[in-house]
Amino acid sequence: MTTTSSRVHVALAGNSYDIHIGHDLFTATADDLYVLLAEKQVVIITDANIAPLHLQATEKALAEFARQTVSIILPAGEASKSFGTYEQLVNDILGLPIDRQTVLVALGGGVIGDLAGFAAASLLRGLDFIQIPTSLLAQVDSSVGGKTGINTAEGKNLVGAFHQPRLVLAEISMLASLPARELKAGYAEVVKYGLLGDAEFFEWLEVNGRGVISGDTDVQAEVVRRSCQIKADIVAADEYEAGQRALLNLGHTFAHAFEAVAGYDGRLLHGEAVSAGLVCAFAFSQQLGLCSGQDVMRVTAHLQNMEMPAQHDQLAAGQAEPQVLIEQMRKDKKTRQGKLTFILARQIGEAFVAGDIDEAELNRFLETL
């Protein structure tokens, strides 16, 4: 087990913060926690799967610093990112003796992070919050960058706010209890970072990636550190997604369509859809004459080697006719002036935003899936 921890700084105009990655972080970051929590009311928000595993230790650690800690346990699953759960959560928090100095702590995966983050963004016009991400997806992606929000009947993440955390603690030991399927789903976002901007990282993953799934905590810590560094650099350059932050959506136009068709009922995890979506983004780029077939093969081979879905037809849920998928892509609010926007690639490590995709070309591509 690694004893050291590493730190990634997210440099933003008015609200910079640190991501700490490693083991025993409550001890390693005691100074930061003291500054953020001393004399304050702390509300820990978590889900029913994580509570029996990690809540007690978190409560005990934070109680060393805070005036008082209270915990709220929500049902696990994407369905909690809803108006109903949000309303319940903010009412429960408002029922406590909180004030503008109260700090919320999101202890969980991306669902808890997005929901608790949105509660923090909106309660009393903005409370401080700390992310303690417990899933790989949350450690490498959702806990960093300040996007918070909930889903509506119209689609995912359509109500939300940019609200940066004050601190992120990615405690690697918490990944030990994460189910293997969730670990692989989170790994899809890791692969995404290599593919969109860092060919050398992708090469490193081709050699070391299996260590993430087999539970090698050194490899896991390195993967989280490098992923957070890439995301932090992109977010620092474009906090509100006016341009290059959109690169983080590599594979996601396809993935969101597969997820919408599957119906968000847990049969298809986001990361599984992203895995197949990444191959689609490269294969579509090849069809458009942008990248080589060899790159498509490398992406496919690595995901297959990780036993992740690399083809649309490997997704039991989420398969559909081209027209149905295109219909879903149109509803994705990331369309610009009604035009379909894709993140495409010239090669591994070199993605770009393609704003004006010809629908006939897309249809022809989807026919090949």
The footprint of ligand NAD (CB under 6 A) covers: 47, 49-50, 53, 76-78, 81, 108-112, 114, 134-135, 137-138, 141-142, 145, 147, 156-157, 174, 177-178, 182, 185, 270
User: CB of 6 within 8 A of CB of 221?
Assistant: yes
Q: Which of 184, 252, 302, 312 is catalytic?
A: 252
C-alpha closest to that of 197 among 26, 36, 353, 23: 353
Q: Annotated catalytic, 200?
A: no
- Catalytic residue of the set 163, 192, 270, 312: 270
Pairing mode, if any, of strands 17-22 and 68-74?
Answer: unpaired
Catalytic residue among 245, 259, 272, 312: 245
Out of 231, 239, 272, 302, pick the active-site residue: 231
Catalytic residue status for 9 = no
d(CA 150, CA 270): 15
Catalytic (active site) residue 270 = yes
Nearer CB in complex with ligand NAD: 81/369: 81
Q: Which of 70, 189, 209 is nearest to 133 (CA)?
A: 189
Q: To the nearest whole angstrom, how small is the minimum distance from the Cβ of residue 368 to ligand NAD?
A: 28
Minimum CB distance to ligand NAD, residue 147 (Å): 4
Residue 208 bears catalytic tag: no
- How distant is the alpha carbon of residue 305 from its chain centre? 22
Nearer to ligand NAD, 144 or 357 (CB): 144
Closest distance of CB 349 from ligand NAD, Å: 21
Name which of 62 and 121 has its Cβ closer to ligand NAD: 121
The Cα 304–Cα 300 span in angstroms is 6
Structure tokens at 355: 């704003």
- Residue 252 falls in the annotated catalytic set: yes
Residue 267 annotated to the active site: no
Stated as kind and residue range, the H or E segment containing 162 is strand 155-162
The position carrying tokens 């594979």 is 251
Q: What is the 3-state secondary structure (H, E, C) of 145-159?
A: CCEEEEEECCEEEEE
Structure token pair of residue 102? 């109260």
- Nearest-approach distance from CB 153 to ligand NAD, in angstroms: 16
Cβ closer to ligand NAD: 250 or 296?
Answer: 250
Rounded to the nearest whole angstrom, what is the least distance from the CB of residue 291 to ligand NAD in the complex?
A: 25
Is 256 among the residues known to form the active site? yes
Comparison of 209 and 271: residue with beta carbon closer to ligand NAD:
271
Instruction: Based on the residue annotation, tell me whether 67 is a catalytic residue of this protein.
Output: no
Residue 152 C-beta: closest distance to ligand NAD, Å: 13
- Sequence-ordered alpha helix ranges (H) in the chain: 25-28, 30-37, 56-63, 83-94, 110-122, 136-137, 180-197, 199-208, 210-214, 217-237, 252-262, 270-287, 293-305, 322-331, 359-367
Give the amino acid at 208.
N
Which CB atom, from 165 or from 349, has the smaller least distance to ligand NAD?
A: 165
Q: Please identify every residue annotated as catalytic.
A: 125, 147, 189, 231, 241, 245, 249, 252, 256, 270
